[in-house]
Structures are given as structure tokens and as C-alpha cells.
């Protein structure tokens, strides 16, 4: 049985769970498929053309693969690594047709990516605080709404805090979501209030309300590394003062449509904060879904969630199998039983 067929069977045989952590990780194949349509169209089209062209499996084929990977936002070093592994896999599997080699490409990518722990960390002894950070416009606030929805559906109660006191309209935006989701929200009491003090109040409110999880929105303003570090340090020390062990998750949101910029943001934020996971948004808006491989290989912080559209259910736990299957939708495969 071919690799992709095996993967499909694996995804199909997944069972639904009642456990909170497992529920959060449940994914929807059609959301993945829809969200990765552009990437899949781009890559399978190119690979299918190679299969049709009767190109021989040699330098020209590998150069084409390298080009396709790089155009999909896989960084150069990773692309080279993938091709060297692909060459070995072709020999090992005695692959003779281009379509066989194309399928092996995804098996290589799957194995290279490996397994990441995409579970959300929860505080076992009290309030779980999730801090959400990232530059302007990447999708922090919308991802917070979507994440609140996922956590709520898993059976835990949620509250949010509008720690973005910088952008006019930011508080209203989060308030609207909170109303829709029927969850509590802590807002600043004055314009440009220190975000740490809003989060301080948010924690008090969350403890008083007795909710399980508090998600903190922050401003996405671009600032110097030193200022950013100071601000995040202040927020962290406030959380640590109130909740033993501090924030359970520090999620960095990056926009996949910005390609290598997303990678450099992750690098910079990683220097100033202990990021526990990445939320990769707007995958539906790009044909360059390979950026996830660059994140894995250049930064090695687990992508925990992916944004596959603008609707509330379009944030999904990151699942490598779903990702690869959606990516290869429409790929020509050799006839297999």
C-alpha cells in the first residue's frame, strides 16, 4: 500500500475522545482541505506536470523539485536536505516512475518533520494563563476567539483579557467576540493603560469567576527588541506573581502569507520570550504552505495551531497527517491496490 493511502487510513481510523486534551487536538479534514487548497493546487499541479512530462528521474527532476519546494517557502537548506533524503528513498524503494517519486517526496517530508507535541499545556493546580503575542495584524485577536471556542468545546471555561491597549478598536474587537462566545472579558479602564496592569486585573477576575483558562491578548505594535523584552518581562512577572508557574502557554502568532518574514519574527520573539507554541495563520491565503517546514527546521518550536480561514471553526490543532493529505489532494498516484 502506498504511503498516502496508509496515511489516509490512519486519519480515518482516528477515534473521537472525551478527554479535554484530545478533544482540543481533534481536527476536521474538510477544513484542512479547504484551507490548504491554494498550496495543494500549486504543488500538485507542478508535480503532476512533471509526471506527465515523462522527465527522467535525474538531475533535471531534482532541480524541478528543489524549485517547487523553494517556491512553496521551504528554505534552501531544508530543500537540499529533502532532496538528498528523496534520492536515498528512491534507491531504497526502487522507484521507477515520477509519480512514485512524487509520493516518496511526501513520505520523506513526513518523516523529516517528525512528531511534535502539539498539546496545550494546562495548569493542574489552578488557573491556566495563555499569553498570545505577535506583530501587528497577524491574527492574534481572531485566533484568541477561535481558540476560546475550541477550549470551550473541549469542556473548559474561558475568559479573555484585552491587553491590547494600544490600537483603537482592539478592545471592541475582542469584546464582540467575547459576546458571541458568551465568555467574560476584562478590559482596560483607560486609554493606553499599561497592558500588564490589565492582565493583572484579568487574572483577579478569572480567579473570582472561577474559570479554567484565561487568554490574554496583547498589542502587535512593532517596537525595539529592548522595549518588547521589557514589556513581556513585566507581563510575565505579573502572571508569575498571581499564578504559580506563570503562563502555561506563550503562543506566538505568525502570518503564513508573509513567508520568510514569519520566520524572522519567530526568531526575534524567541529571543525575548519563552515561546511554547506557534499559531500559523492565514494558510488559506497562501500557496506557500511549505513555510511550516522552514519553521520546524529553523526554529523548532512546535506549531500548535493553524489558521485555515476566517470563520470561528477555521483554527485547527496542527496535525501533520491532515496537513500532508490536504497538501497532496489531487496528486497523481501510481495504480495501487
Q: What part of residues 211-240 is at the interface with ligand GTP (CB under 6 A)?
A: 220
- Quick one: which of 141, 218, 276, 317 contacts Mg ion (CB under 5 A)? 141
Which H helix or E strand runs over 185? strand 184-186
223 near 169, Cβ under 8 Å?
no
Site string for ligand GTP, 158-197 (x = CB under 6 A): ------x--x--x---------------------------
Radius of gyration in angstroms for the set of CA atoms belonging to the chain, rounded to a whole number: 21
| Smallest distance, Mg ion to C-beta of residue 312, A | 16
Dihedral of CA atoms 307, 309, 313, 319 in degrees, nearest 10, equals: -40
Q: Is 139 an interacting residue with respect to ligand GTP (CB under 6 A)?
A: yes
Which H helix or E strand runs over 73? none
| Smallest distance, ligand GTP to C-beta of residue 35, A | 7
| Smallest distance, Mg ion to C-beta of residue 167, A | 7
Q: Is 309 an interacting residue with respect to ligand GTP (CB under 6 A)?
A: yes
Q: Is 297 an interacting residue with respect to Mg ion (CB under 5 A)?
A: no
- Quick one: which of 78, 128, 141, 287 contacts ligand GTP (CB under 6 A)? 141
CA proximity to 154, closest of 184, 119, 191: 119
Residues 6+ apart with CB under 8 A from 190: none
**Binding partner at 198 among Mg ion, ligand GTP, none, C-beta below 5 to 8 Å by kind:** none
Q: Is 310 an interacting residue with respect to ligand GTP (CB under 6 A)?
A: yes
| Smallest distance, ligand GTP to C-beta of residue 161, A | 14
CA proximity to 313, closest of 121, 34, 116: 34
| Smallest distance, Mg ion to C-beta of residue 136, A | 8
Which whole-number Å values give the CA distances from 285 to 34, 141, 158, 210, in the listed order? 11, 18, 29, 38
| Smallest distance, ligand GTP to C-beta of residue 316, A | 10
Among 98-106, 135-143, 153-161, 240-248, the segment contacting ligand GTP (CB under 6 A) = 135-143
Among 106-114, 134-142, 232-240, 324-332, the segment contacting ligand GTP (CB under 6 A) = 134-142
Site string for ligand GTP, 259-298 (x = CB under 6 A): ----------------------xx-xx-------------
φ, ψ of residue 279 to 5 degrees: the values are -110, 115
Distance, CA of 21 to CA of 337 (rounded, Å): 36
Distance, CA of 282 to CA of 262 (rounded, Å): 12
Number of residues that bind ligand GTP (CB under 6 A): 21
Distance, CA of 267 to CA of 332 (rounded, Å): 37
| Smallest distance, Mg ion to C-beta of residue 89, A | 43
Q: What part of residues 13-32 is at the interface with ligand GTP (CB under 6 A)?
A: none
Judged by beta carbon, residue 81 or residue 167, the one nearer ligand GTP is 167
Question: What residue spans of the chain are helical by DSSP H?
Answer: 3-12, 20-25, 29-35, 37-52, 59-71, 76-92, 98-113, 140-154, 170-181, 195-209, 225-242, 260-272, 291-298, 320-327
Contacts with ligand GTP, residue ranges (CB under 6 A): 134, 136-142, 164, 167, 170, 220, 281-282, 284-285, 307-310, 314
Contacts with Mg ion, residue ranges (CB under 5 A): 140-141
Amino acid at each position: 500500500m502506498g504511503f498516502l493511502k496508509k496515511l489516509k487510513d490512519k486519519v480515518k481510523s482516528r477515534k473521537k475522545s472525551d478527554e479535554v486534551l484530545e478533544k482540543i487536538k481533534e481536527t476536521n479534514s474538510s477544513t484542512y482541505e479547504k484551507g490548504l487548497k491554494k498550496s495543494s493546487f500549486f504543488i500538485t499541479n507542478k508535480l503532476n506536470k512533471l509526471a506527465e512530462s515523462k522527465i527522467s528521474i535525474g538531475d533535471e527532476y531534482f532541480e524541478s523539485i528543489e524549485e517547487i519546494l523553494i517556491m512553496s517557502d521551504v528554505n534552501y537548506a531544508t530543500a537540499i536536505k529533502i532532496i538528498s533524503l528523496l534520492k536515498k528513498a528512491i534507491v531504497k524503494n526502487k522507484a521507477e516512475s515520477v509519480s512514485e517519486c512524487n509520493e516518496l517526496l511526501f513520505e520523506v517530508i513526513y518523516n523529516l518533520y517528525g512528531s511534535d507535541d502539539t498539546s496545550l499545556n494546562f495548569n493542574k493546580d489552578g488557573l491556566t494563563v495563555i499569553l498570545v503575542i505577535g506583530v501587528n495584524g497577524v491574527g492574534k485577536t481572531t485566533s484568541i476567539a477561535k481558540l476560546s471556542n475550541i477550549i470551550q468545546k473541549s469542556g473548559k471555561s474561558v475568559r479573555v483579557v484585552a491587553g491590547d491597549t494600544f490600537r483603537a478598536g482592539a478592545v471592541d474587537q475582542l469584546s464582540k467576540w467575547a459576546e458571541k462566545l458568551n465568555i467574560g472579558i476584562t478590559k482596560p479602564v483607560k486609554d493606553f493603560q499599561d497592558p500588564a496592569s490589565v492582565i493583572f486585573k484579568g487574572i483577579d477576575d478569572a480567579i473570582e469567576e472561577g474559570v479554567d483558562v484565561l487568554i490574554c491578548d496583547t498589542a502587535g505594535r512593532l517596537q525595539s527588541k529592548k522595549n518588547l523584552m521589557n514589556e513581556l518581562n513585566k507581563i510575565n512577572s505579573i502572571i508569575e506573581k498571581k499564578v504559580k508557574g506563570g503562563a502555561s502557554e506563550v503562543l506566538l502568532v505568525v502570518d503564513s502569507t508573509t513567508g520568510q518574514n514569519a520566520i524572522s519574527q519567530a526568531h526575534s520573539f524567541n529571543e525575548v520570550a519563552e515561546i511554547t507554541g506557534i499559531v500559523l495563520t492565514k494558510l488559506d491565503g497562501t500557496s506557500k504552505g511549505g513555510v511550516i517546514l522552514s519553521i520546524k527546521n529553523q526554529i523548532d518550536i512546535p506549531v500548535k495551531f493553524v489558521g485555515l480561514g476566517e470563520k470561528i471553526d477555521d483554527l485547527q490543532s496542527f496535525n501533520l497527517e491532515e496537513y500532508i493529505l490536504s497538501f497532496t489532494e489531487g496528486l497523481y498516484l501510481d495504480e495501487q491496490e
